Amino acid sequence: MSDKAESPSTDSKPPASRRRGEAAKALFREELVRIALELFNREGSKGVSIRAIASAAGISPMAVYRYFPNRMTLLSQLWDDVFHELAAFMEEAVSARSRPEDRLLAVLDAHVAYWTTRPEQFRMIYVEPALDPEGESELDFWRTAPGPARVRGLMGSLLMDCWHSRSIQGADPAAAIEQLSIYLRGLLHTLLSTAGSDWLQPERALQGARSVVLALAAHHPSLQPADTVA
């Protein structure tokens, strides 16, 4: 693919041509992200470089820079795509449920099922080194990326539904969401790092997680009965 074909469209082109050009650029950007994921699966995060992606795509490194100004931007996009896929997976899981507790448990099951069937993506985000040596880009990602925010928002709304169904209000719902995320991450680390161990029974571990999540929804220490909240 030549660099010329990837040049940004200009405003002098008719609207239909601009739309086609923008669609083509979006598709090619997705292709670069797909290549980056393949490189990661083969070589880990150190194997994901602008030069390696350009070589795999058959273009020059400068062509990649037109879509991603640096490696950190590309990796952040890769992470964000994974979280959007996770959110869609979770949303589909709760779509057929009505009771708040059932919806929350469906999200838990979907969350665990997603990562346990995609261990490379889990390793990419939670196990491999940070996006840069100082860790600032990783912090920026968690603060600003829409994908993780979408997952947190879904979990938060389901927790609130559970609390409201018990006439309980949350003094600090964000703390409960954070605690739930940490618990799930620890569970997944255990399931993925000790897969096949004689002592680990995944079904029992997941059942225990379901109990913890329901207890968190009903009795999180940051919650107070509605009539005692200041």
Of 221, 212, 107, nearest in space to 161 by CA: 107
The model's pTM is 0.74
Report pLDDT for 43: 83
Task: Give the whole-number percent of the chain exceeding pLDDT 70.
Answer: 73
Q: Could you tell me how far CA 147 lies from the centroid of its own chain? A: 6
Report pLDDT for 5: 46
Report pLDDT for 89: 96
Report pLDDT for 2: 47
- Give 114's pLDDT tier (boundaries 50, 70, 90): very high
- What is the arithmetic mean of pLDDT over 143-168? 82
Report pLDDT for 44: 78
Helix residue ranges, H only, the chain: 15-43, 50-57, 61-65, 71-94, 100-116, 119-122, 136-144, 146-165, 173-193, 202-219
Higher confidence at residue 34 or residue 229? 34
Q: Which domains does the chain have, with CATH numbers?
A: 1-69 (1.10.10), 72-228 (1.10.357.10)
Q: Is the pLDDT of residue 172 over 70?
A: no
Q: How many residues does the chain have?
A: 230
User: Please, what's the b/e burial string for 87-120 (b: 16 or more CB within 10 A of its CB; e: otherwise)?
Assistant: bebbeebbeeeeebbebbbbbbebbbebbbebee
Say how far apart CA 221 and CA 225 lie, in whole Å: 11
